[in-house]
Structure 1
Amino acid sequence: MSYPKIDFLYLSEPDMVKAGVNDPVKCTDCMEDLLKILYEGDYRMGGENGNSHGCMVTFPVEPEFPNMPKDGPDRRFMAMPAYLGGKFDIAGMKWYGSNVANRDKKVPRSILTVMLNDKDTGAPKALMSANLISAFRTAAIPGVGVRYLAKEDSKVLGIVGPGMINAITAETFCNLRPIETIKIKGRGQASIDRFISYVKEKCPQVKDFVVCETLEECVRDSDILSFATSTPTGGQANYPTIKDEWVKKGCLICGPGAVNVSDELINSSKLVVDNSKLYEAWAEEYPYPTFDTMFLLGCKYLDMVHEGKLDKSRIEDLGGIVSGAIPGRKDDDEIILYSIGGMPVEDVAWGKTVYDNAVRLGIGTPLNLWDTPYLY
């Protein structure tokens, strides 16, 4: 960048696809590098603790003003800033707008953009469409978990919540393990049909799709499980709940969405999180019991620590396992519970990788901020 002139690159969603945003294996490789950097600590996110998920605007149930939005499922505006060091060495932010009612307008529930910025001046380097950044990195973080924690011969995948996030997650997992059967528990036939159509196209090695009537049917005999249901309200009693006797020995349970398990299963399983400091930040930001508000398993782990039911040292970071500092799977009978919170450093990492590809390939539209600033 040559100052004082500042140009930056605009990347539309078609540009992002041309630049490789939808490559599940490369995204998983990128998230593996990211997790190592997280474990080393070379990053910052929002808040005084440097680990906040972001700053969110929420709305009242009955607004005083006629034009103010009403609270509703997944209705939010959220700024998610981060700096990521290591080979990425970039600052950035995901801007997040979400409303379930968007589907009536034939647009996604969440509409996302990412801005990448020079770490020293703050100057913009790129503004990019980010729905695919977010979707593929959301799938790739559990993908790293599958790479390091799932049994090598895992053939049966259980999917709870067959939306597009779990469709991409299934695509990612099928590139990492010899998945032959996918069991599906969903609430609507349309989403189940879209899921099956997508996975059939992307993963021809899958031989059987089994649509399950009950959660128990989906969980039993699955080698890997992925939960990505719509955010439930009303506390943990409303989360999809697994009974201990349903879980196959050696199963890896991935929880990027709401899932509940017994205290006994937590105490007898290997407990892994994407970044333990993220859950500690949530425990500071939300009142105890945090798991009633934040539906992720890692929040339940810390609630149990708070209650004296769990030793905090039992909670392990995947970055430590990837780096070789912490042992991975003990044996083929070990059940592993993996909590995935999602962080803006992930969007920055994959966004920077795709941006570098776009620059190399000459993709995108250059935009000018100024040649000389009016004020300085």
Structure 2
Amino acid sequence: MSQADDTVMVHNATAPADDMAPLPRIDFLYLSEPDMIRAGVTDMAACIDAIEDMFALLWRGDYRMAGGNNNSHGAIVMFPDESPFPDMPTSTVDRRFMAMPAYLGGQFRTAGMKWYGSNIANRDKGLPRSILTFVLNDADTGAPLAFMSANLLSAYRTGAVPGVGARHLARPDSKVIGILGPGVMARTSLQAFMATCPQIETIKVMGRGRANLDAFTAWVAETYPQLTVRTVETAEEIVRDSDIVTFCASVATGDPSIYPTVRREWVAPGTFLAMPAPCNIDDGMAAPDIRKVLDNTGLYEAYLEELPVPRHRFVPAVGVKFLDLVEEGTLDKASLEDLGAIVAGDTPGRTHDDEIIILSVGGMAVEDVAWGTIVYRNALRDGIGVKLNLWDAPALR
């Protein structure tokens, strides 16, 4: 049989019709950051819808992530404090490489992996702390569909999770948001809250540096001129009298006592707290009358297998604190709820105006696959990006 005879046409039924291509030739799409913007990566309302669909699939089990448990956050490369090798990087507050692979079913039916390097010293070079890329693959053949710039992809899918939470768990008439940490995560979380709770009027913000606070305030004034922004000095002021609270500040891991902490006495009835960054709670917030929601129970159960106790030292998500409290015997595991179950309708969302609800946001590779797939299909539809060739035919097979 000739090579030409060996060429067949395939089509992924979930992809646009123009995604048909002859095999064994493989082409894929390269999407730069400007391409990603043109393809809609910053469309927060659409991102929230995609991530909401993803949560329903998680609850049904139509997904896979890393590890034997299929729920691992990913694989990480860390560096030593001291090295005998002169060219090996040494540890900083946030130096690592990380790979986050996943498969997602439903309307997506794709696989993908986010790969990034991170170093807090990047900021001194005019770079983001983390530099991210994402590869999207056909779930059947494993062939690459796209290679993407992923800083915006990751930022928007992260912000969309608190938005999904707010859609189901915040009071629709919420007016005041308290934000700890005025960085990128704060911006995308605010965009998500504005998309789901349009009656918001006031933002309280706290940050460590004047420059970041000024930049955030200027961005809010330009993006949401109808909002009032107040700078405050303490976590207590962030939490008190806020309808929605989110902690978005980076903190060194290892000592939970230095993580930003929510104290029960600060929290007004009806508050929704969405925590995508380091967070701790006092004993009052561990009480049974506070609803505690995990973004994916399986993710936290994977940490139970992978990390020594107490795990909150290594993973600063408040959901890991919940699991540590379960192991200590001070919290009933049955009291922990799952956001996917709420999205799917198997568990109720907010049931009355006075409920206090705290959502742990751990970050998952399936989020990148969900939003990356939608952005990729937008790019195909609109002719965005550069088509690159992997091979016309593989040299080895």
- TM-score, normalised with respect to structure 1: 0.98
Q: What is the DSSP-based 3-state SS (H/G/I as helix, E as strand, rest coil) of the residue aligned with 1:50?
A: coil
Identity, % of aligned pairs?
56
Alignment of 1:52-63 (within 5 A): 52-63=72-83
Q: Tell me whether 1:318 sits opposite 2:339 in the alignment.
A: yes
Does the CA-based 8 Å contact 2:262-2:285 persist in structure 1? no
Partner of 1:167: 187
Measure the CA separation in 2 of the matches of 1:88 and 1:205.
36
Q: Tell me whether 1:209 sits opposite 2:229 in the alignment.
A: yes
Measure the CA separation in 2 of the matches of 1:183 and 1:330.
26
Displacement, 1:99? 0.6
Displacement, 1:278? 0.1
Does the CA-based 8 Å contact 1:135-1:165 persist in structure 2? yes
Displacement, 1:82? 0.4
Partner of 2:116: 96
* Counterpart amino acid of residue 370 in structure 1: W
* Counterpart amino acid of residue 368 in structure 2: D
Partner of 1:137: 157
Q: Tell me whether 1:42 sits opposite 2:62 in the alignment.
A: yes
Measure the CA separation in 2 of the matches of 1:35 and 1:202.
28
Aligned CA-pair RMSD: 0.9
Displacement, 1:264? 2.6
Does the CA-based 8 Å contact 2:263-2:284 persist in structure 1? no
Measure the CA separation in 2 of the matches of 1:175 and 1:89.
27
Q: Tell me whether 1:306 sits opposite 2:327 in the alignment.
A: yes
Q: Tell me whether 1:147 sits opposite 2:164 in the alignment.
A: no
Does the CA-based 8 Å contact 2:166-2:196 persist in structure 1? yes
Measure the CA separation in 1 of the matches of 2:84 and 2:186.
38
Does the CA-based 8 Å contact 2:167-2:196 persist in structure 1? yes
Measure the CA separation in 2 of the matches of 1:260 and 1:269.
14
Measure the CA separation in 1 of the matches of 2:123 and 2:182.
16
Displacement, 1:298? 0.7
* Counterpart amino acid of residue 58 in structure 1: M
Q: Tell me whether 1:241 sits opposite 2:261 in the alignment.
A: yes
Alignment of 1:237-276 (within 5 A): 237-267=257-287, 268-276=289-297
Measure the CA separation in 1 of the matches of 2:112 and 2:191.
27
Match of 1:278 among 292, 299, 303: 299
Q: Tell me whether 1:86 sits opposite 2:137 in the alignment.
A: no
Partner of 1:113: 133
Displacement, 1:233? 2.9
Aligned length: 375
Q: What is the DSSP-based 3-state SS (H/G/I as helix, E as strand, rest coil) of the residue aligned with 1:336?
A: strand
Measure the CA separation in 1 of the matches of 2:351 and 2:394.
59
* Counterpart amino acid of residue 95 in structure 1: W
Does the CA-based 8 Å contact 1:171-1:203 persist in structure 2? no
* Counterpart amino acid of residue 77 in structure 1: F
Displacement, 1:313? 1.2
Partner of 1:351: 372
Does the CA-based 8 Å contact 1:170-1:199 persist in structure 2? no
* Counterpart amino acid of residue 53 in structure 1: H
Displacement, 1:232? 2.1
* Counterpart amino acid of residue 177 in structure 2: L
After superposition, give the CA deviation of every residue in 1:28-51 in whole Å (9 maximum; x if it has no partner).
Answer: 011100000001000000000000
Does the CA-based 8 Å contact 1:171-1:202 persist in structure 2? no
Q: Tell me whether 1:226 sits opposite 2:265 in the alignment.
A: no
Measure the CA separation in 1 of the matches of 2:184 and 2:220.
10
Displacement, 1:304? 1.1
Q: Tell me whether 1:75 sits opposite 2:95 in the alignment.
A: yes
Displacement, 1:66? 0.7
* Counterpart amino acid of residue 249 in structure 2: T
Measure the CA separation in 2 of the matches of 1:141 and 1:77.
23
Measure the CA separation in 2 of the matches of 1:116 and 1:103.
28
After superposition, give the CA deviation of every residue in 1:229-274 in whole Å (9 maximum; x if it has no partner).
Answer: 1132331101011221111111111110011111331222001111
After superposition, give the CA deviation of every residue in 1:304-327 in whole Å (9 maximum; x if it has no partner).
Answer: 111111111111111111111001
Does the CA-based 8 Å contact 1:179-1:205 persist in structure 2? no
Q: What is the DSSP-based 3-state SS (H/G/I as helix, E as strand, rest coil) of the residue aligned with 1:170?
A: helix
* Counterpart amino acid of residue 208 in structure 2: R
Does the CA-based 8 Å contact 2:163-2:195 persist in structure 1? no
After superposition, give the CA deviation of every residue in 1:318-370 in whole Å (9 maximum; x if it has no partner).
Answer: 11111110011121111101000000100011000000000000000000001
Q: What is the DSSP-based 3-state SS (H/G/I as helix, E as strand, rest coil) of the residue aligned with 2:45?
A: helix
Q: Tell me which stretches of 4 or more aligned residues in structure 1 moved more than 4 Å.
A: none
Measure the CA separation in 2 of the matches of 1:76 and 1:201.
34
Measure the CA separation in 2 of the matches of 1:233 and 1:78.
16
Gaps of 5+ in 1: none
Measure the CA separation in 2 of the matches of 1:288 and 1:27.
35
Displacement, 1:131? 0.4
Measure the CA separation in 2 of the matches of 1:243 and 1:119.
45
After superposition, give the CA deviation of every residue in 1:97-128 in whole Å (9 maximum; x if it has no partner).
Answer: 11101111111111001101111221111000
Measure the CA separation in 1 of the matches of 2:127 and 2:175.
34
Partner of 1:294: 315
Measure the CA separation in 2 of the matches of 1:27 and 1:78.
23
Gaps of 5+ in 2: 1-20
Displacement, 1:164? 1.2
Q: Tell me whether 1:32 sits opposite 2:48 in the alignment.
A: no
* Counterpart amino acid of residue 320 in structure 1: A
